[in-house]
Each structure stands twice: as C-alpha cells, then as structure tokens.
Amino acid sequence: MNSMNTRRTVRAYSSQPLSDQLLHDLITTACRASNTGNMQAYSIIVTRDMERKCILTPLHFNQTQVTQAPVVLTFCVDFNRFGKWCEQRKANPGYSNLQALTYATIDTVILAQAFCDAAEALGLGICYLGTTTYNAEQIAEVLELPKLVIPITTISVGYPQQTATTPLSDRLPLDGVIHQETYRDYTEDDIDRIFAEKEALPENQHFVEINKKETLAQIFTDIRYTKNDNEHFSEAYLKAIRKQGFII
C-alpha cells in the first residue's frame, strides 16, 4: 500500500538496463492476476530494439519515454492463441464479438496494472502511454499482430533517472467517487465541492492562465481531450478493431 500511495509516473529513465530475468519475474507475477475464465486472452509485446522504438515513437505522439526507457511493453487482447487451441481441440471458438473483446480488454488492463504494481514495488518507474488506442491500426502493423489480436495499452518501464521529488498527483476526494448501495447523482454544490481542490492548485490555475481559458474544465474539453479528437480516434480505433477480425 505504501508503494501505491507514494507512486509517481516516471517519464525519464536512467541508463541502467532492465535484466531479462527481472522482466521475466515481473511478468510471471503479473500473470497471476485475475482474468475471465482463466483464458488469459492477452499477450505482451516486449520492445527493446531501438530501431523499432523509433518506429513506434511517432505513433505515441513522440513521447520521449518510448526511446529512453529500456523496455516498452504493449499489452494486447489476444484471441488468436486461445482460438487456435479451441480449433485444434475440436471446439468452435466464438470470440470475435464485442462481449469477448470487452472482457478481454478488462483482463488485459488488469494484467498491465498488476505488472506496474509489481515493478513499482521493486523501485522501477512506469508510465502508461494512453496513445495506444489512438493509433492501434499502425501499432498492430509495426508489431505484426495477427487477426484477433489488438493493442490496448502500452507501458514504458525502467529505473528512474533520479528519485522523484515532484508532488503526488492530485486526486478527487473519496466522497466524490464512492456511492453507497446505489448511484447518487451530483448536485451543482457537489460538483463545486468535489473539484474545488483540483481547481485551486496553483499549477492548474497557471495552466488555465497560459492557455487563455476561463476554467480548468475548458483545458480538457478544448485542448486535451476534444470532441473532434475523440470522434476521429473513435472511428480509427473501430476501424482497427474490425481490421483485426472483431465483428463490431
């Protein structure tokens, strides 16, 4: 709990290599995480090769940790392996649908987070790359993913360049997240109270000022996660999902 409560995202890594044995042990531990039906409908693509990292970097919007980290891991839904096992055992697989994709996506993210928890507990640093689904089709091509395999999330991992001294990221108060028994919708006063601390942070107020916006919410809607971008990448992701053989 101490490791999780004091964690910071790490985007700058030292030159210290990550050994094959340690990576093997971390992935072995992560694979103990819960998954649907114990099917383990996921795969992890390990990228160490600098040339391939350089190809992946623009697909992750040129985030520098892709090339700086000793290891980049792409976590994928994988019904190729399980489907082939079914067919070779005289069973008829039916996993190219939305329901299978949904629970395998959940399992893949659980696997990724289990890996992160194990890595951070040993002093390693990690960073999720939220760009994986934005360019899933191109990433699938670079990683040579077959049908029924689709990338879900990517993690850079390595030893931090230096001990983190930055403040912990802010989080909403728990009473803004927890609902007892049933969902209780938020009043305007609730919203003001829940987001008050986030809006009051000097760095967030500065961010609003330098971007010439009126509120912090506008940073999200107008700059970071716009409607146009969400709709564009939704279409791109749906195209990638269908290209990989899922019938959605």
Q: State residue 1's pLDDT score.
A: 86
**E-state strands within the chain:** 42-47, 71-78, 125-129, 149-158
Q: Is the pLDDT of residue 128 over 60?
A: yes
Q: State residue 165's pLDDT score.
A: 66
Q: Is the pLDDT of residue 246 over 80?
A: yes
Q: Token match 């329901």: residue?
A: 99
How confident is the model over 122-131, as a mean pLDDT? Answer: 95
Neighbours of 4 (CB within 10 A): 10
Q: State residue 4's pLDDT score.
A: 84
- Residue 19 · residue 44 · CB < 8 Å: no
Q: What is the mean pLDDT of the chain?
A: 96
Please give the Cα distance from 65 to 125 (Å, whole number).
Answer: 11
Share of the chain above pLDDT 70, in %: 99
pTM: 0.94
Q: What tens digit of pLDDT does each residue of 83-106 get?
A: 999 999 999 999 999 999 999 999
Integer Rg of the chain from CA: 20
Please give the Cα distance from 244 to 248 (Å, whole number).
Answer: 11
Q: Which domains does the chain have, with CATH numbers?
A: 2-165 (3.40.109.10)
